[in-house]
Amino acid sequence: MPSTKSVVISCAGVGSRLGLGQTKALIKINGRSLISWQLEMFKDVEDLRIVVGYQANDVVNEVLQYRDDAIFVFNHRYFETKTGASFFLGAQHANEYVLEWDGDLLVHPDDARKILSEEGEFICYAPKASDEAIFVNTVEDGKVVSFSPEKGDYEWTGPACIRKDKLEYSPFNGFNQLEPYLPMKGMNVRAYDIDTYQDYQRVAEAVKNWYE
């Protein structure tokens, strides 16, 4: 059954911390582009939006190999803005609920299906794995109560789902879009994002195990 959420993948950034000279959507994970792994998870999503900026033409061409109905949205200020801006831009004219998904994120396919079927607003988090994590603090029922660059119960990896009318233009991070609405329902998922080369190596190993 197709998902009724709009999915916004933020692929506008330069990916400078990774040091591979490419936007992260195009880096190879076990012989395939990262975004091709994501698109496989979203094959049943009718309203799929890709926010592009750096190397936009290359990202568009890669996506079109897998989906000819994706909506492309340009973040022309990609050098000076972060994922919060891309999420806002991508959510314009979307469905009532929008799912934020970073272009450097891979989620276990079973958990991705759970995320797509979950109703209402929520924030996903994972056990700490990456080198430069933003942390999530939760309470006993799993609700997310705060984000922190210093310490927390889990790592903020995304994704997150929120009503599009709650979003405002912001040059900051995706989680900053969510902070005014905390506490929010939380979901613990198996997920990795890629900020550093060490993260990249870990994700390649994880994906092998996911698809054995």
d(CA 176, CA 38): 23
Q: How far is CA 100 from the centre of its chain?
A: 5
Domains and CATH numbers, the chain: 3-210 (3.90.550.10)
d(CA 144, CA 209): 28
Is the model's pTM score more than 0.75?
yes
Q: Which residues of the chain form beta strands (DSSP E)?
A: 3-11, 28-29, 32-33, 45-52, 71-74, 97-102, 105-107, 122-126, 135-138, 144-148, 154-163, 186-188, 191-193
Phi, psi of 146 (to 5 degrees): -165, 160
Write out the chain's pLDDT in tens, 212 residues: 556 899 999 999 887 555 567 788 999 998 999 999 999 999 999 999 999 999 999 999 999 999 999 999 999 999 999 999 999 999 999 999 999 999 989 999 999 999 999 999 999 999 988 777 899 999 999 999 999 999 999 999 989 999 999 999 999 999 999 999 999 999 999 998 887 888 888 888 888 888 76
